[in-house]
């Protein structure tokens, strides 16, 4: 199991939880599992999020590997000027 930390505004789509345990070996897999468990998060993931894995921010990297020990946060997607 991998634990995903949600930002506080997502709690209302995840039964009030700010951490969700999911299955998966890549960012893509854990996001898919997250939406399977909490379908309310579907539009959020579809609109685009960044994921940080052990401090490294992965804007758009479904292929990136995660392990059971990984610290995973969902983040707003960034832009720059």
Partner 1 sequence: MALDGKTSDYKQIGTTPDRPDGLDKVTGRARYGADIHVPGMLHGVVVRSPHAHARIVKIDATKALALKGVKAVITRADFPEGLEGEDWDIQENCMAGEKALYDGHAVAAVAATSQLIARDAAKLVEVTYEVLPCVTNVDEAMKEGAPVIRDGAADYSVPEGLHPNVVRYFDTGRGDLDKGFAEADLVVEKSYSTEAVHQGYIEPHACMGQMGSDGRGEMWVCTQGHWFIRRMSAAVLGIETTKLRVTPSEIGGGFGGKTTVFMEPLSLALSKKAGGKPVKIVMSRSEVLRSTGPTASASMDIKMGMTKDGKITAAHGTFRMQGGAFPGAPVDVTTMLAFANYDIENVHHIGYDVITNRPRQAAYRAPGAPMAAFAVESTIDDMARELGIDPIEIRLRNAVKDGTRSTFGPKFGPVGLVESLEAAKAHANYSAPLGPNQGRGVASGYWMNWGGETSASVAISEDGSVTVSVGTPDIGGSRASMALMAAEAFGIAYEDVRVNISDTGALGVNEPTHGSRATYASGLATIKAAEECIGKLCQRAADKWGIDVDAVVWEDGAAKPSGPNAGDHDPLTIGEIAAEMGGTGGPISGHYEGSPTGFSGSFGTHVVDVEIDPETGHTTVLRYLVVQDAGKAIHPDYVEGQFQGGAAQGIGWALNEEYIYGEDGRLQNPIFLDYRIPVASDLPMIDTVIVEVPNPGHPYGVRGVGETGITPPLPALANAIRSATGLRMTGLPMTPPKILKALKEQGNG
Judged by CB under 8 A, the residue of 8, 33, 37, 38 near partner 1 is 8
Q: Is 25 in the site for partner 1 (CB under 8 A)?
A: no
Q: Is 18 in the site for partner 1 (CB under 8 A)?
A: yes
Size, binding site for partner 1 by CB under 8 A: 27
Q: Phi then psi for 16, rounded to 5 degrees?
A: 80, 0
Within residues 40-79, the interface with partner 1 by CB under 8 A covers 43-44, 47, 52, 54-61, 64, 71, 73, 75-79
- Contact indicator for 73, 51 with CB cutoff of 8 Å: yes
**Residue 40 to residue 62: CA distance in whole angstroms:** 20
């Amino acid at each position: 199991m991998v634990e995903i930390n949600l930002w506080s505004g997502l709690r209302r789509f995840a039964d009030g939880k700010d951490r969700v345990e999911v299955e998966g070996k890549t960012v893509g897999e854990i996001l898919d599992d997250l939406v399977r468990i909490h379908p309310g998060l579907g539009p959020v993931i579809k609109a685009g999020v960044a994921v940080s894995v052990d401090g490294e921010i992965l804007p758009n990297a479904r292929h990136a590997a995660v392990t059971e020990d990984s610290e995973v946060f969902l983040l707003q997607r960034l832009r720059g000027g």
